[in-house]
A and B are shown apart, each in its own frame.
Chain A
Amino acid sequence: MMRFKAKVAHKFAESPLLELRLPAWRSRLMALLILFSFVVLIGRAFYLQILDTDFLQEKGESRYRRDIEITASRGRIADRHGDVLAISTPMRSIWAVPPAVQLSAEQTQQLATLLETDAQALTRKLTTDKPFVFLRRQIPPPVAAQVAALKLPGIGQDKEYRRFYPTGEMTAHMVGFTGVDDRGLEGAELAFHGKLLGTPGSRSVIKDRRGQIVEEDVGAIKPPQDGEDINLALDSKVQYLVYSQLKQAIADSKAKAGGVVVLDARTGEILALANWPTYNPNNRTDLSGAQLRNRALTDTFEPGSTLKPFTIALAMDSGKVRFDTPINCAPGRLRIGTATISDTHRYGVLSVAEVIQKSSNVGASKIAAMLPAQAMWAMFDGVGFGQVPALGFPGAVSGRVRPWKTWRPIEQATMSFGHGISVSLIQLARAYTVFARDGDLVPLSLTRVASPRPRGEQVFSPQTAREVRAMLEMAVRPGGTAPRAQIPGYRVAGKTGTARKLEGGRYSTKKYVASFVGFAPASDPRLVVAVMIDEPRGKYYGGEVAAPVFAAVMAGTLRTLGIAPDAPLEVAQSAKPATKARL
C-alpha cells in the first residue's frame, strides 16, 4: 500500500518518460531556430528604426501633426496715386452635402432667410441626388457666422475671396474683372493675372487634444505669397473726367458708341481710357458683348483725315515737298482711274500746311501720289498701324494695312486720308506721339513708368515733326477745321477726322465715325488725347462732335496735372467757340 502510494506521488522529475533519451540535435535545432527568429526580429527592427525611418515617422506624425493651408489674397489694382481700383476681401460660401442634411421646417426657414432665398428653392436644392451643392457663394462673413451658429448637419462653409471694384463702370474696361474662382477674365485683371495671383502657403503644426496648436515645425513653414499689387498708369481723376465727358457727348450726339484715350506723351503711359457703352463690374448679371468690349483696343475703324499728317510728314521727310510747296487742289475733285476724290469745299492752290489746316482730300491724294507705295507702307508700319500694340492687354487688335504690293493708285490716294486702312483708337493715339515728341514713337505702358523713357524708334526727323506740329496747330486755330478744340491759355494742336462707315462693302452715306486726335501744350507736348464717336446722329463732323470732347478732356487734364499754360493771354480770351467747322 505504502509503496503503491509512494509510486503515485512520485515527483515529476522522476517521471519515467523523462528517462527517454531524445536526440541531442533536436534541442540544438530548436535553440537555433529561436535564435534565428530573434535575429530576424532584431534585423527588422533595425531596418524600420534606422534604415527606413520615413514610414513609421509618417505614421506617427499623422496622429498628431496637421498641415494647415494659409490662404494668400489676390493683389490689389490701384491707380498711379495708389487709389484702389480693385481689391479682394474674404467672403464665405455655404455648401451642403444633401444626403446628410436633415432639417426641420423651422430650420429650413431660418436658413433660407439668412441666405436670402425662399424655403421652397432651398428645399429643391437640398433634395437633389448630387453629393455636393453650393447653397450660396460669396456671402459676408457675419452672415456666415450666423449660419454656422445654427449648427445644421451636412451644411458647411468655405473661405473664398470676392473682388470689389469701388470705381465701378468708370474704370471697367481698364481694370476688367475676375470670375468667381478668382481668375482674371478681362482687362488688367487678365493682363496681369500671373502677378496678381498669390500662392497659398502651408504650415505644419502639432495640435493637442483640445485642438489648440502647441508646436510648429518651423522648418516646414511655407509662407503664403500674396499676389503683387499692380499700380496702373491710370489717373483716377483724369479717368473720371474722360468718362463723364464721353458719357455726356454720347448722350448729346445720340451716338452708338465711343472711346477716349489719354496718353502721356513723354512716358507713353495710358493715363485714361474710357469706352461707351460700359458696365458695372460689381454687378455682372446681364452683360452684353457690346458692353464688355474695350473698343479703344479691340475695335478698328477707318480713321479718316486724322491720317493725313502722316502721309504729309513722310513727303516732307523724303524731301518731296516743303511746308509751303503749293498744291493745286482746284476744282475740289480729282479723278483717279474710275473713282473720284472730292473735297467738301472747292479750294484753289493750297500750301502743304493749308492742306492739313483745311483738310483737303485732293491735296493729300496728290501728295500721296508723289510717294512710292513701299515707303508709305513702311511709314504706316513704323507708326504702329497693322501691329498689335505690345501691351499684353487681352483682345488688342492689329488693325488692317494691306501689303503694299497689292495697292492700286486709288487705294494709295484714299489711304492718305485714312480710308481703306483700319486702326484702333489706341494705335491712333500712339501714332500721334511721333508729332508730340520729336519724331520718335514711344512704347505704350499700362503701368507706371518711373522716369521718362529714352527715345523710341525714330519715324520722322525732329525737324519734320516740329513742322507738322505747327501745321496741326493751324488746324485748331480760326480758319482750320477744329476751332472748337481750342483751350483758353494753352496752345493746342490736333486733327479732325470724319469717316464714312463701311456697310456691306460700300461706304454709308448716313453712318459716320467722327474723331479728333491732338496734343497740348503745343510748345512742349505733354498729353495726347484721342476721341472717337461712332455713328453720331445729327452733326457728324469730327470738328463738331469729337473736338469739343477733346477740348473738355484736355483742358481738365492739363489743369489736373498742373501743366503750365503756354499761350499768351490775349489768345486765351479771344478763343471763343467758332461756329464753322469742316471735315
Chain B
Amino acid sequence: MVRLNLLLLLVVMLCSLGVVTSQHKARQLFQELDVQHERTRQLEVEFGQLQLELSTWGTAPRIEKIAVEKLGMRTPDAETLLPTAPTGGASR
C-alpha cells in the first residue's frame, strides 16, 4: 500500500513538473509568435512605404521628363504616324 502511494506521488510530481515546463515553453513560444506578429506589421508598413516610393518614382511627369531630357525622345507628329488596323483593313 505504502509503495503504491509513493509511486503515485512520484507520478504526480513528474506530471506537475511537466506542466510547469510546458507552460514555460508555451510562454516562450507565445513571445516568439508576438515578435513575429510585430515583424509582420513592420513589413506591411515597409511594403506600403515601398509602394509609395514605387509610385513616386513611376509618376508619368517624371518618366516624361527623363525621356525628353535625358534620352532625347519625343512624341511623333500626327503626319508621321500610320495607323494600322489589326484585322486587315479598317473595321467599319
**Could you tell me which A residues sit within 8 Å of B by CB distance?**
73, 76, 83-85, 87-90, 164, 166-168, 170, 212-216, 236-237, 240, 244, 488-490, 523, 555, 564-569, 572-573, 575
**Residue interface mask B47-66, A partner, CB < 8 A = 1:** 01101101110111100100
Question: B52 contacts A213, CB within 8 Å?
Answer: no
Question: A168 contacts B59, CB within 8 Å?
Answer: yes
**Could you tell me which B residues sit within 8 Å of A by CB distance?**
27, 30-31, 34, 45, 48-49, 51-52, 54-56, 58-61, 64, 78-79, 81-87, 90-92
- Chain B nearest CB: distance from A167 CB in Å? 6
Specify which chain B residues have a CB less than 8 angstroms from the CB of A523 in the assembled complex: 91-92
Question: B60 contacts A240, CB within 8 Å?
Answer: yes
Specify which chain A residues have a CB less than 8 angstroms from the CB of B64 in the assembled complex: 240, 244
Query: Bound state CA distance, A385 and B70, in angstroms?
Result: 48
Question: A84 contacts B51, CB within 8 Å?
Answer: yes
Q: A90 contacts which of B45, B54, B85 (Cβ < 8 Å)?
A: B45
Question: A569 contacts B82, CB within 8 Å?
Answer: yes
- CB-CB nearest 6 A-B residue pairs: A489-B83, A240-B60, A166-B55, A565-B83, A166-B56, A84-B55
On whether A170 and B83 interact (CB within 8 A), knowing A89-B45, A90-B45, A214-B30, the answer reads no
Question: A84 contacts B52, CB within 8 Å?
Answer: yes
- Chain A nearest CB: distance from B56 CB in Å? 4
Name B83's closest neighbour in chain A (CB-CB).
A489
Specify which chain B residues have a CB less than 8 angstroms from the CB of A566 in the assembled complex: 85, 90-92
Q: A214 contacts which of B31, B60, B78, B87 (Cβ < 8 Å)?
A: B31
Specify which chain A residues have a CB less than 8 angstroms from the CB of B82 in the assembled complex: 569, 572
Q: A565 contacts which of B31, B55, B84 (Cβ < 8 Å)?
A: B84
State the main secondary structure of chain A at its contact with B: mixed
On whether A488 and B81 interact (CB within 8 A), knowing A89-B48, A214-B31, the answer reads yes
On whether A212 and B31 interact (CB within 8 A), knowing A89-B49, A166-B55, A240-B60, the answer reads yes
Query: Bound state CA distance, A394 and B91, in angstroms?
Result: 41
Specify which chain B residues have a CB less than 8 angstroms from the CB of A555 in the assembled complex: 78
Specify which chain A residues have a CB less than 8 angstroms from the CB of B34 in the assembled complex: 213
Question: B52 contacts A166, CB within 8 Å?
Answer: yes
On whether A237 and B60 interact (CB within 8 A), knowing A89-B48, A166-B55, the answer reads yes
- Chain B nearest CB: distance from A229 CB in Å? 11
Specify which chain B residues have a CB less than 8 angstroms from the CB of A213 in the assembled complex: 30-31, 34
